[in-house]
Structure 1
Amino acid sequence: MIKAFVVENDRLRLTDSIEADKDKVVWADLFNPTREEEAMIEQWLGVGVPTREEMEEIEISSRLYVEDGAYFMTATLPSQADSDDPVMSPVTFVLRRNLLVTIRYHEPRAFTTFPMRAEKASTGCTTAETILIGLLEAIVDRLADILERASRGVEAISKDIFNPTATKASKRDRDFQRLLKDIGRKETLTSDIRDALTSLQRLSGFLANAVGQGKNGKDAKAHVKTLSRDVLSLTDHANFLSQKITFLLDATLGMINIEQNGIIKIVSVAAVVFLPPTLVASIYGMNFELMPELKWLFGYPFALGMMVVSAILPYWFFRRRGWL
């Protein structure tokens, strides 16, 4: 599918007839393009567009390059990021003279919100360069929103770890399992956003050279520089968030170890407390004929008393040492 936009009254307008407005189109957005649609765009650009396999290559030379005067820039962007499991896929931006072509196979939200805003109000996006910069700014804003939501989620996880509400051990175990899953999802989301920001950071540096060729190159470069600073600040925040998630993972595992150690300590103390009474009972349970206590009137109470005292003494010792 191809969406073609033209500039009308300093606003973007989605054209109803690509052929009729062919000379006016400033932005062509290809979403899951067919081979015929790719051939049409290649005829407009005068150069071939990358295939999906070529877009997924990770080498810098395959993502940022110039071919016959056309600038090819590929970035990895998320879609369906309202959940903790976004879909990551590359998007290619092709800039040649006054034509911007975007090629994508998923639906980042910026590709929906930016055209709607540019159609309703004048945003200053009247050329291919300014449209590309405005689209990238919308993408960065969206990534910032995702990071903010991830930050709130991480804060909620932190409170659940260090201020648990469950009192029963079985309930705490289920809570720890849930927390580990939540931490894993947040780490995946943060990692995906860091990947997107890294690709955008490289793209913005490459774009600064591309937009500097036009008559409004100075203003465009200033916008790209601002965009690059925003991406850098978000990258720093994503790195901080990733470190915090790692800390929370370590803290959760530490809390689980404390819970397990507490259970093992209780079992160990119980074993030590009941070991002496068991020893006393075992001694008097032996079937030997020459055992004087068997003939005593108070032999049975004496044995019971020894068992009670032998159980109390270890318990008192543990309490005195602060081990309980």
Structure 2
Amino acid sequence: MINLYVTEPGVLRRAPAGSPIGETVVWIDMVDPSMEELQRVDQALGVDIPTKEEMREIEASSRLYEEDGALYMTATVLSSVETGSPVASAITFVLTHGRLITVRHTDPLPFRAFATHVDRHPGAVTGAEGVLFGLLEAIVDRLADVLELVGAEIDQVSQTVFEAGQRTRGITPGNGGKAGKTGKSNQRPPAPDYEALIAAIGRMGDLTSKIRESLVSIGRLAGFAGRNLRGRASKTGLAAMKTITRDVVSLSDHASYLANKLSFMLDATLGLIQIEQNGIIKIFSVVAVVFLPPTLIASIYGMNFEVMPELSWHLGYPLALLMMVGSAVLPYWLFKRRGWL
């Protein structure tokens, strides 16, 4: 599909579907174009539009270059965040002879938002450079919004993780870090769903990595465009490009901070899981130690020897039971006294 935007004196508007690519066309937005549509633009403008496979190449020389007076700029843009399955897809911007061509095989929210902005405010953006700067600003703004959402979700998961850590140590949140007394009124709450926590941390980590990838590519694109448009773009446009570059740098730093925080939370969650496992193993160890002496006594008096004086003694059975109970209580009392339970 091809969307055409034409310029009139001080106005940028969407052309009707099926309109020819005339002299007044400023922005050609190609969404998942077919071979026929690629050939149509190539014949009309004499521009070699990169294919989907060529857009996937990651080396800088294949993403940012100038050919026959046209600037070819490919960036990785985040999309489909609202669906819960974010995707980082390549989008190509071709700036040639006062026209901007965008080639994309996805439908990111910034493009829809910018198109809506152009429809509502036709005079807000004019010229191919203005469209390019507007799209980049919309993409960066969207990445900032997603980072804010990720940061808020990280705070929620962080609170859950560290409250779980307090419960694991028997500390009641809000009591100054002191362990609560054991009793019916202060029973330990059930452990959180660690599997869900790890899944949430992994999902946020994947989204953060895609955001960082998009920011890095947008930053490279902005730097390349700023260098090559110096002397051609207006002062307002160059100032907007500098603002975009500064925003990308600050957002990249914030994304790195969130990535480090996610790594710390993952380590903390795995540590809590290990503590829970150690607690379970400790219970089995105590049970084994408590029942080992009674088992030994029962084994001794269960041997089938003919000469065992205690077997004919009328107090032998109660004494054996008393020894078994005492040998079980003694290790338990010792563990409690040393604070191992």
TM range (shorter): over 0.9
1:212 match:
230
Q: Residue 269 in 1 paired to residue 259 in 2?
A: no
* TM-score normalized with structure 2 length: 0.89
- One-letter amino acid of the counterpart of residue 209, structure 2: S
2:191 to 167, 172, 192: 172
- One-letter amino acid of the counterpart of residue 284, structure 1: Y
1:254 match:
271
1:315 match:
332
Q: Residue 241 in 1 paired to residue 263 in 2?
A: no
State the aligned residue count.
321
- One-letter amino acid of the counterpart of residue 319, structure 1: K
1:305 match:
322
Distance 1:123 1:242, change over 3 A: farther
Distance 1:180 1:123, change over 3 A: farther
Q: Quote how far apart the aligned CAs of 1:97 are.
A: 2.6
- One-letter amino acid of the counterpart of residue 55, structure 1: M
2:213 to 163, 171, 195: 195
Once structures 1 and 2 are overlaid, which stretch shifts more, 111-120 or 129-138?
111-120
- Give matches, 1:138-157, under 5 Å: 138-157=138-157
Q: Quote how far apart the aligned CAs of 1:23 are.
A: 1.1
* TM-score normalized with structure 1 length: 0.93
1:126-171 CA distance string (max 9 Å, x none): 11101100110001111111111111221222122222489899x6
Gaps in structure 2 of 5+ consecutive residues:
169-186
Q: Which secondary structure state, in structure 1, belongs to the residue aligned with residue 82 of structure 2? A: coil
Q: Quote how far apart the aligned CAs of 1:247 are.
A: 1.1
2:243 match:
226
Instruction: Name the CA distance, whole Å, in 1 between partners of 2:272 and 2:44.
Output: 61
Distance 1:209 1:44, change over 3 A: farther
- One-letter amino acid of the counterpart of residue 200, structure 2: D
Instruction: Name the CA distance, whole Å, in 1 between partners of 2:223 and 2:123.
Output: 23
- Give matches, 1:106-121, under 5 Å: 106-121=106-121
Q: Quote how far apart the aligned CAs of 1:213 are.
A: 2.8
Q: Which secondary structure state, in structure 1, belongs to the residue aligned with residue 191 of structure 2? A: helix
Contact 1:84–1:186 (Cα < 8 Å) also in 2:
no
Contact 2:13–2:122 (Cα < 8 Å) also in 1:
no
Instruction: Name the CA distance, whole Å, in 2 between partners of 1:22 and 1:60.
Output: 32
RMSD across aligned positions (CA): 2.0
- Give matches, 1:25-64, under 5 Å: 25-64=25-64
1:229-262 CA distance string (max 9 Å, x none): 1111111111111111111111111111111100
Instruction: Name the CA distance, whole Å, in 1 between partners of 2:83 and 2:5.
Output: 30
Once structures 1 and 2 are overlaid, which stretch shifts more, 234-243 or 121-130?
121-130
Q: Quote how far apart the aligned CAs of 1:80 are.
A: 1.0
- One-letter amino acid of the counterpart of residue 189, structure 1: L
Q: Residue 290 in 1 paired to residue 330 in 2?
A: no
Contact 2:12–2:118 (Cα < 8 Å) also in 1:
yes
1:127 match:
127
Instruction: Name the CA distance, whole Å, in 1 between partners of 2:19 and 2:80.
Output: 33
Q: Which secondary structure state, in structure 2, belongs to the residue aligned with residue 323 of structure 1? A: coil
Instruction: Name the CA distance, whole Å, in 2 between partners of 1:123 and 1:208.
Output: 24
Q: Quote how far apart the aligned CAs of 1:19 are.
A: 4.5
Contact 1:89–1:106 (Cα < 8 Å) also in 2:
yes
Distance 1:17 1:297, change over 3 A: closer
Q: Quote how far apart the aligned CAs of 1:9 are.
A: 5.8
1:10-62 CA distance string (max 9 Å, x none): 34311116655711111010011122221222234322111111100000000
1:97-129 CA distance string (max 9 Å, x none): 310000001101111110111221256421110
